[in-house]
Amino acid sequence: MIGARIRELRTERGLTLAQLAAAAGVSSGLISQVERDLADPSLETLRKIARVLDLPLFSLFQEPAAAAVAVVRREGRMLVRSPAGGISYTRVSPGHGRLEVLEGCLLPGGSSAAEPWSHPSEECVLVLRGRLVVEVSGTEHLLEEGDSCSFDSSLPHLYRNPGEEPAGFLVTVTPPSY
18-23 contacts, C-beta under 8 A, 24 or more apart: 20/49, 20/52, 20/53, 23/52
Give the residue among 36, 61, 73, 55 at the shortest CA–CA distance from 121.
Answer: 55
CATH number at residue 148: 2.60.120.10
Q: How many Å apart are CA 160 and CA 115, to the nearest integer?
A: 11
Residue 140 near residue 133, CB atoms below 8 Å: yes
37 shares its domain with 80: no
Q: What is the count of structural domains for the chain? A: 2
Q: Tell me the torsion sign for CA atoms 112, 114, 116, 119.
A: negative
pLDDT for 64 equals: 56
pLDDT for 55 equals: 86
Residue type, 125: V
11 shares its domain with 95: no
Q: Is residue 6 part of a domain?
A: yes
Q: Is residue 60 part of a domain?
A: no
50 shares its domain with 10: yes
Bridge partners of residue 171, in order along the sequence: 102, 125
Q: How many Å apart are CA 141 and CA 177, to the nearest integer?
A: 23
Q: Is residue 68 part of a domain?
A: no
Q: Is residue 99 part of a domain?
A: yes
Along the 178 residues of the chain, how does pLDDT read in single tens digits?
788 889 989 988 999 999 999 999 999 999 999 998 888 888 889 989 999 998 888 778 776 555 678 788 888 887 887 767 789 999 898 877 788 999 999 999 999 988 999 988 999 999 999 999 999 999 999 999 999 999 999 999 999 999 999 999 999 999 887 5
pLDDT for 63 equals: 60
Query: Taking the CA atoms of the chain, what radius of gyration do you get in angstroms?
Result: 16
Q: Is residue 168 part of a domain?
A: yes
Q: Is residue 78 part of a domain?
A: yes
Domain of residue 120, residue span: 74-174
pTM of the model: 0.68
Q: How many Å apart are CA 51 and CA 104, to the nearest integer?
A: 21
Q: Is residue 13 part of a domain?
A: yes
